[in-house]
């Protein structure tokens, strides 16, 4: 967990489906990759697709998701079952087993200070992936996310409308 890199990116117009886009970006991951997912990004199909590529994931679980406890681990984390959210797969018992890590941020300068968070990961063995290391990795994800937000929101010029960009493009092509 020492090397951090953006291994793929995508640009979609409008209100793209984040999960669908994420599934497309799985093309760039493989064994030894740890994906850091945003809250609510996980679903059974995406977990299965990630594990099929022999990659691992770490993400924040939304408060609305109720994992089913399987067993407590000695380090205070637990193995839980996440059920499929779509009815046909849920009816057939589709689920994945993940490790649940509960944590609370202690930095008063950070958003979410003293709020309980739940992280889930495919790294089920606490000896291989200690909870503290995973919590810190997820925290660093937020630092990266903040930097990307700064570029996207404050340093990029506003995108012109589609009509304006087409007409500007037409003017440039006829002027050359």
Quick one: pLDDT at residue 56?
Answer: 94
* 29-61: pLDDT as tens digits: 899 888 888 776 778 888 899 999 999 999 998
- In 3D space, the residue among 100, 146, 141, 91 whose CA is nearest the CA of residue 121 turns out to be 100
Average pLDDT over all residues of the chain: 78
Quick one: pLDDT at residue 99?
Answer: 97
| 171 vs 30 pLDDT, higher one | 30
Quick one: pLDDT at residue 172?
Answer: 33
Instruction: Read off the pLDDT band of 3 (50, 70, 90).
Output: low
Instruction: Read off the pLDDT band of 164 (50, 70, 90).
Output: very low
Mean pLDDT over 8-28 rounds to 75
Edge-first strand listing for the sheet containing 34-37: 34-37, 56-60, 116-121, 95-104, 78-83, 68-72
Quick one: pLDDT at residue 162?
Answer: 46
CB 77 within 8 A of CB 99: yes
> What is the rounded distance in angstroms from the CA atom of residue 20 to the CA atom of residue 110?
30
Mean pLDDT over 144-152 rounds to 69
* 94-114: pLDDT as tens digits: 899 999 999 987 777 776 677
Quick one: pLDDT at residue 171?
Answer: 33
> What is the rounded distance in angstroms from the CA atom of residue 42 to the CA atom of residue 51?
12
Quick one: pLDDT at residue 86?
Answer: 80
């Amino acid at each position: 967990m020492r090397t951090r890199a953006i291994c793929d990116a995508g640009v979609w117009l409008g209100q793209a489906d984040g999960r669908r886009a994420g599934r497309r970006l799985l093309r760039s991951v493989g064994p030894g990759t740890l994906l850091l997912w945003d809250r609510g990004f996980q679903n059974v199909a995406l977990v299965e697709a990630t594990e099929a590529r022999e990659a691992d994931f770490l993400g924040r679980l939304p408060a609305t998701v109720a994992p089913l406890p399987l067993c407590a681990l000695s380090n205070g984390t637990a193995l839980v079952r996440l059920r499929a959210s779509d009815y046909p797969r849920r009816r057939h018992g589709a689920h994945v087993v993940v490790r649940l890590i509960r944590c609370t941020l202690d930095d008063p300068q950070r958003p979410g200070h003293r709020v309980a968070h739940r992280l889930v990961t495919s790294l089920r063995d606490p000896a291989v992936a200690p909870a503290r290391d995973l919590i810190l990795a997820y925290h660093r994800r937020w630092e990266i996310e903040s930097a990307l937000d700064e570029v996207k929101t404050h340093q990029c010029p506003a995108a012109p409308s589609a009509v304006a960009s087409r007409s500007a493009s037409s003017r440039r092509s006829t002027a050359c």
